[in-house]
Amino acid sequence: IRFGSVNSGSIMGSVVGPSDTYPLSVPSNWTKATITYNFRTNLVEMEEHTEADILPVLSHMGAVPSVTNAGTPVSITASVTNREDYDLYLEMSHNNEPFVDQAYTLNENEELEYGFTPMAGVYHIRLRAFNTLTSEDLVFKGIVVKVLGEQAPLKALTGNPYEEINWNAIQRNKANFHVHTDWTSDASMQAHQVVDLYHSKDFKILPITNHNFSSYPWFLFSMFKTSWQDRDPETLGILSFPGNELSANNHHNDFFTGRNDSGADLEQSFALTQSLGGMQILNHPGQYWSILANYGPMQKNSPEWFADIFSRYESIIGLEVYNQGNKHPYDRVLWDEVLTLSMPERPVWGYSNDDAHHVNQAFFNYQFMLMDRFDIPALKESMLNGRFYFSYEYGGTGNAMAPGIDGITVDPTSQTITIDTPDDQVYWISGIDGEGSDRQSAVVGIGKTFVFEGFRGNYVRALITNLYGETCTQPFGFDDADVTGIDPMKREDRTSIVIFPNPSQGTVYIRSDQALDHILVYNSMGQVVRSFSAKNQTEIELNLGGLKNGMYIVSLRMNHGIQNRTIIINR
């Protein structure tokens, strides 16, 4: 078992058995054992099962719609295999009340069906399987249905990072964007050892990101440090380019600029990379933010602060949501909080990087960049537009054993997103469930197909799991639906809009070079909190008095489309 401790800050390690401390060998008369590592307590626990039964499997569970308005009928469907020896119970709770059994029906496909008309709040729906012979009681991972208190508009799928991909012809280039050599004081590998190590496992994209120094180009390794040996990336079939982990403040990787500084002033560092035409990834955010902290609306490292940084710097293309295996497990929660604030106008792409300082930290994290050509311009296009998926492999074998993706299909007629992946479990996530330190990413569907009919959320993403690891897609964006749907506007076609002051104490002014038709203001839950008729004006004053401090999305309707802007209320 490989593991890491969040509490102690240790990196990846190993537990082996049998031993007095960790007696993990499985006796020959056992038919099933569950071994669990608890990152909260740093304990390894093993549970013995002695019945050689065939367990039921939840293959699909969905709600249509999964994010909706109060009073809109919701239909629940679920499919369970290997359930012959089990009684199934459909259970539901509203706003964390106790779960109550619901009377479901079976359709012609032997799927469970249940319908209800919801009130505002959050419904948790789960299935329980009970074996009357063995008394084994299984509770499957469930889904949530979010019911908004305000009448949120219907959404249309307008952001699909995989839209133009020919999955039969596209290149899948394995990449790691965060790795260190012994130039970094707490790392042990020499530069040529790093290159050879990742080359041995068929990595095709590998920038070296030492702290505050660009170890580029590779054919000058021996000039940077006499013990290093030069390498030729072209001969090795690897794309290399300048990289640097700027680490005087919140660590962030800089690419393509050749910077050799430390990024001491964070905002100046972001602005400098943007002015130089480079790209940046914000590294291991769990090192700076905490799910236990109570942040002010724009306090540094709050979700609102991260969303604001992304809104102001297009050069910051993504966020590390896996680092050194899974060293900061709550970083996906932060990602979902940021996506709730920023989507669909400003997608934030997720990354999974080794941040390897030593050999035993390599190969746990990677992404497959989907590229039409094997060159730097094609790589930049994939990085900028989210044309990739990323994985965390539990064993770190280097053989990419976490789930793969053979294709992603969006059907606008049936209003579905389907992932082609071999025999893996797929969870569809949109926003956050719970409060305070109990916050977690909200699962709104289970199965390879997500139905977005009647959807009123602003994004959804997929998490795919198997025995060896987990893989994430990038987020799909949803915007207010038109009669025929709308296409996302290209950046060069966007209207020039100015909103000031921002942050504001309650009154904001909007200036646009295109006539405005209607303006809606959403809170972080996607609820409409203000609505204004602009009457084809290009300048308008908005009174946002009475709104709580925090981040809001201003959605501006114009004749040629919709644009969203982020504002902060801070009295």
CA distance 96 to 102: 16
pLDDT of residue 560: 62
CA distance 164 to 145: 31
Contact of 376 with 239, CB cutoff 8 Å: yes
Contact of 173 with 498, CB cutoff 8 Å: no
What does the DSSP assignment read for 503-551? SBSSEEEEEEEEEEEEEEEE-TTS-EEEEEEEEEEEEEEEE-TTPPSEE
Both structure tokens of 29: 């008369």
pLDDT of residue 40: 60
CA separation (Å) from 450 to 66, 74, 116, 429, 537?
10, 15, 19, 10, 39
470 Cβ partners below 8 Å, 6+ apart? Answer: 391, 392, 402, 403, 463, 464
Backbone angles phi, psi at 4, to 5 degrees: -140, 150
pLDDT of residue 135: 85
Spatial CA neighbour of 177 closest among 350, 307, 397, 313: 350
Please state whether beta strands 316-323 and 349-353 pair in parallel, antiparallel, or not at all (unpaired).
parallel
Instruction: Look up residue 23 and give its DSSP letter.
Output: -
pLDDT of residue 565: 77
Inter-axis angle of helices 331-342 and 303-312, nearest 10: 60
Contact of 452 with 459, CB cutoff 8 Å: no
Instruction: Look up residue 269 and give its DSSP letter.
Output: H
pLDDT of residue 158: 94
Task: Centre a 10 Å sphere on the Cβ of residue 222 and count the other Cβ atoms it contains.
Answer: 14
Spatial CA neighbour of 348 closest among 358, 338, 361, 359: 338
Both structure tokens of 490: 């290209």
Helical (H) or strand (E) element with 13 = strand 13-14
pLDDT of residue 27: 65
Q: Tens place of pLDDT for every residue, the chain, 571 residues?
A: 555 555 445 555 555 554 555 555 666 666 667 777 666 666 677 777 655 457 889 999 999 999 999 999 999 999 999 888 899 999 999 999 999 999 999 998 889 999 999 999 999 999 999 988 888 889 999 999 999 987 888 999 999 999 989 999 999 999 999 999 999 888 999 999 999 999 999 999 999 999 999 999 999 999 999 999 999 999 999 999 999 999 999 999 999 999 999 999 999 999 999 999 999 999 999 999 999 999 987 899 999 999 999 999 999 999 999 999 999 999 999 999 999 999 999 999 999 999 999 999 999 999 999 999 999 999 999 999 999 999 999 999 999 999 999 999 999 999 999 999 997 899 999 999 999 999 999 999 999 999 999 999 999 999 999 999 999 999 999 998 753 333 433 333 445 677 878 778 888 888 888 888 889 887 765 577 888 888 888 889 899 988 888 777 788 888 766 677 778 787 7
Q: Which residue carries 């998490």 as its tokens? A: 463
**pTM score of the predicted model:** 0.79
Q: How far apart are the first and last CA of the chain?
A: 50
Contact of 205 with 369, CB cutoff 8 Å: yes
Residue 317 amino acid letter: I
> Coil, strand or helix: which one is 113?
strand
Helical (H) or strand (E) element with 384 = helix 376-385
CA distance 469 to 363: 12
> Coil, strand or helix: which one is 270?
helix
Q: Residues in the chain, how many?
A: 571
CA distance 259 to 189: 22
Contact of 230 with 219, CB cutoff 8 Å: yes
CA distance 15 to 269: 41
Both structure tokens of 124: 């948790």
Q: Sheet containing 279-282: which strands, arranged edge to edge?
A: 243-246, 252-255, 279-282, 316-323, 349-353
b/e per residue, 419-450, with b = 16+ CB within 10 A? Answer: bebeebbbbbbbbbbeeeeebebbbbbbbbbb
CA distance 44 to 77: 36
pLDDT of residue 357: 96
pLDDT of residue 424: 85
CA distance 123 to 102: 13
pLDDT of residue 180: 97
Please state whether beta strands 74-81 and 440-446 pair in parallel, antiparallel, or not at all (unpaired).
unpaired
Contact of 311 with 270, CB cutoff 8 Å: no
How many whole angstroms from its chain centre is CA 289? 16
Rg over CA atoms, the chain: 25
CA distance 358 to 361: 6
pLDDT of residue 494: 42
Helical (H) or strand (E) element with 332 = helix 331-342
CA distance 137 to 79: 18
Both structure tokens of 79: 């499919």
CA distance 108 to 90: 18
> What angle is formed at CA 43 by the lines to CA 426 and CA 51, rounded to 5 degrees?
65
